[in-house]
Structure 1
Amino acid sequence: MVLKKGDHGSAVQELQVKLNTHGAKLAVDGWFGEATEAAVAMVQRRAGLVVDGMAGQKTIEVLRGDRDSRRLQEKHLQAAADRLGVELAAIKAVNAVESRGSGFLDSGSPVILLERHVAFQRAGAAGFDTDLLAARFPNLVNRTRGGYAGGQAEWARFDNLRSVTSQAIAIESCSWGLFQIMGYHWDPLDYPSVDEFQWAMASGEPAQLDAFVRFLELEPALVKALKSKRWAEFARLYNGPAYKENLYDAKLAQAFATAERLAA
């Protein structure tokens, strides 16, 4: 769960209590207003986290006294922004809207999502009888999207797909990490091998961000849209024509405005 400005309730009260133990002076009223947002940003800034004013898993970890060296930090986004030649607030907006929030599950495994229609394509290209596979394992190999289990259960699907095809096909058929980069991009993104791609995605969120930056570098139109803050164009290119249904462009614009405000 991610708590953000406008939220209210007992979870916000608990957050405010924790923030006060870290030096904030909030009224514990259960309302996530500007003061609570500023207190969250203060804790994030001190810890070197991405400063977005939202209390997600990484911020809660810091408030509990836990630190995970694999987590994305503000300096990593600054380096990505410099590399792409875009404003930090722009790359932070994309991180806020397009990322999964956390690149890892509670188990410590990278977040993945197996796309069975991609498995159908990759298995076919490798010479497997895809019609037979689809008939026997329709949730793993299929002409159409679907079959999602979510969370840790996606790793069970991964292991099952690997057992009936190959390790490479299983890796290539999943999206990985914060930015849902598909495994079959490993070659154009200049990873030495599909296994090297998986190891990178398991090494930490900075490496997952690096994969996303590599992806953007292969798509100059995406970088151009990001530089000029043409959110509708960026969302269309990154999410497809259905971006309007999910208001991705409006969410990006709002996240950019928030990033600028918190940096002031």
Structure 2
Amino acid sequence: MTTLRHGDRSQAVRDLQKKLNSNGATLVIDGDFGDATERAVKAYQLKIGLVADGIVGAKTLAALAGSDCQQLLKNADLVAAAQRLDLPLASVYAVNEVESKGKGFLDNGKPVILFERHIMYRQLITPRHDGDDPAELKRQADQLAITNPAIVNPKPGGYVGGTAEYQRLSAARLIDDTAALESASWGAFQIMGFHWQRLGYASVQDFVATMSAGESQQLDAFVRFIESDLVLYKALKARKWAEFAKLYNGPDYARNLYDVKLQRAYERHADCGCGQEIAA
């Protein structure tokens, strides 16, 4: 599904303009995604509660087609997150736009996940109870790595993507439910399950249930993640985008231009003045 944004010219933009007009806009149907169309998109997004970023992705198109938006991230969630973190709304918009996968749920209604087999291996060799023998745990994990290399492996990889990741997760849960859930990233912001305790959840099962409730809850986990890492928070607060991207995405952040994307997204949302308008 193509994402539409300011500057685009196409038949898809004409179709978008028609749908916006049927929802109260008064646009000229010219196929040009200019300032007027962007304002109309933001107004529509605000009206139905979606993130009012002026970008027409899968969520906005689905809403225009009449789909239920109950599970989706709300603009009010971003406003609340900005207030909670004491950040400009444009900073939260930028982070949401660049660092989230854009959609926290698969078409089957389950949260987006990515199962990490090397984390599963690590969790299995980590003693959890008094009396756990590290040598025995490693022996068992190494045996599993031989018989189930796609599920337990000292090396990352084996990704299949989409709903098929749940097949890997299900196989891992048969080995150890807690370790398996801790070994997947969850939701739009790809928060790893093993962070559950640091983020204040009662258990990894509680964390997963919360991630399954809605994108608002997924954003809350992301806010907790930032709050629990003072260095990460300070980088975001100071808008040191390269430092923030490196801390959040790892040393390969520059290859994907995460810092550049964050800077551009911040400038776009700050310059549009929509932060003050939306927060009001």
CA contact (8 A) 1:52 1:262 kept: no
Q: Does 1:22 align with 2:23?
A: yes
- Structure 2 match to 1:114: 115
CA contact (8 A) 1:52 1:258 kept: no
TM-score, structure 1 normalization: 0.93
Cα 1:12–1:160 shift into 2, 3 Å = farther
Kindly provide the amino acid, as one letter, of the partner of residue 185 in structure 1.
Answer: H
What secondary structure sits across from 1:225 in the alignment? helix
Q: Does 1:177 align with 2:187?
A: yes
* Structure 1 range deviating more: 8-17 or 225-234: 8-17
CA deviation after TM superposition for structure 1 residue 153, in Å: 0.8
Give the aligned CA root-mean-square deviation in angstroms: 1.7
Q: Does 1:44 align with 2:45?
A: yes
Please give the per-residue CA displacement for 1:164-196, whole angstroms capped at 9, x wherever unaligned: x12111110000001100000001111111110
Q: Does 1:227 align with 2:237?
A: yes
- Give 5+ residue unaligned stretches, structure 1: none
Return the alpha-carbon distance in structure 2 between the equivalents of residues 251 and 225 of structure 1.
Answer: 16
What secondary structure sits across from 2:219 in the alignment? helix
CA deviation after TM superposition for structure 1 residue 8, in Å: 4.2
- Structure 2 match to 1:216: 226
Kindly provide the amino acid, as one letter, of the partner of residue 162 in structure 1.
Answer: R
Q: What is the percentage of aligned positions where both structures have the same residue?
A: 49
What secondary structure sits across from 1:175 in the alignment? strand
* Structure 1 range deviating more: 185-194 or 138-147: 138-147
TM-score, structure 2 normalization: 0.88
Q: Does 1:4 align with 2:14?
A: no
Please give the per-residue CA displacement for 1:27-74, whole angstroms capped at 9, x wherever unaligned: 444443333322211111111211111112221222122233221111
- Structure 2 match to 1:137: 148
Please give the per-residue CA displacement for 1:114-155, whole angstroms capped at 9, x wherever unaligned: 011111111222536122212222221111111111111111
Question: How many residues are treated as equivalent by the alignment?
Answer: 263
What secondary structure sits across from 2:24 in the alignment? coil
What secondary structure sits across from 2:162 in the alignment? coil
Return the alpha-carbon distance in structure 2 between the equivalents of residues 36 and 141 of structure 1.
Answer: 50
Q: Does 1:102 align with 2:113?
A: no
Q: Does 1:158 align with 2:159?
A: no
